[in-house]
Amino acid sequence: MQANRSNGKTIEFKGGTLQAMTAIVRDPNVMKLADAMHAMLGGMGEFFAGEPTVLDLTGTSLPERMDWSGIASLLRRYGLQPVAVRGIPEAHGDGARKAGLAVLSGDLRNAPAAGANQPEPAAAPVASKADPESTPASANRSMVIDRPLRSGQQIYARGCDLIVVGGVSNGAEIIADGNIHCYGPLRGRAIAGAQGDQKARIFTTSLGAELVSIAGVFRTFERGLPEEVAGRAAQITLTGEGDKAQLRLDPLQLG
């Protein structure tokens, strides 16, 4: 009998961390969600490339019957992979589970956001496309990456600012709980204020991003960047509150 290559163990469990994007849903109506996501992402299918997602409905008024399958299908259309839901009444638990969603309790607002997996060194990502990195919150107020990032790579600066000394290629993603500074062409996705910091900013010496986000407010550029900031030094800030919140792009005068 051939020996098992894993010391005879058919299955083995090890501690690890699965970090997921949190989708804060304020209106569970599928049609309204579809309209909102289309407006936010320009109808770009498979935009998020398989990122695990937790639906957060804390404080949201839910109808007697929830279309969990419809919501999950909508998210998958944009490349998100819904895995769980939190903040729902117990009466909705069975329906969510039947749609393949785990029902979580506790506060997930302190969990890392979007694609923040942890190898180098730590757990492997759900999808092997990325080569992610992260750093725990500590006395350090910034994480410095002193190399360019290629397509498929993800960097997450937990609890601090992120400084990238080099370019960010199309298809790469940089995430920070604080500000993002990119000293080079920013062509991928940049997500600042990932835990909800509305004062976070994104700075780059050459703006060419696919998507930018601050505190959950996204903006995509499938029709191109505004002429005054395209390929130029720029800063991105969040203005307004609630439904009126929007991202502002301003040129930076360097030197």
Domain boundaries defined on the chain: 21-104, 133-251
The tens place of each residue's pLDDT in the chain, 255 residues long, gives 444 454 567 877 666 556 667 888 889 999 999 888 877 766 666 666 677 888 989 888 999 999 999 999 998 888 888 899 989 999 999 999 999 999 987 444 333 433 333 333 322 233 323 344 544 444 457 899 998 898 888 888 888 999 999 899 988 889 899 999 999 999 988 999 988 899 999 999 999 998 899 988 888 887 889 999 999 999 999 998 877 888 999 999 876
Domain 133-251 classified CATH 2.40.50.140? no
**Contacts within 8 Å (CB) and 24+ apart, 12-19:** 16/122, 16/123, 16/124, 17/118, 17/122, 17/123, 18/52, 18/117, 18/123, 18/126, 19/111, 19/112, 19/113, 19/115, 19/116, 19/117, 19/118, 19/134, 19/156
Domain 21-104 classified CATH 3.30.70.260? yes
Sheet arrangement for strand 246-251:
142-145, 161-164, 180-186, 202-207, 234-239, 246-251
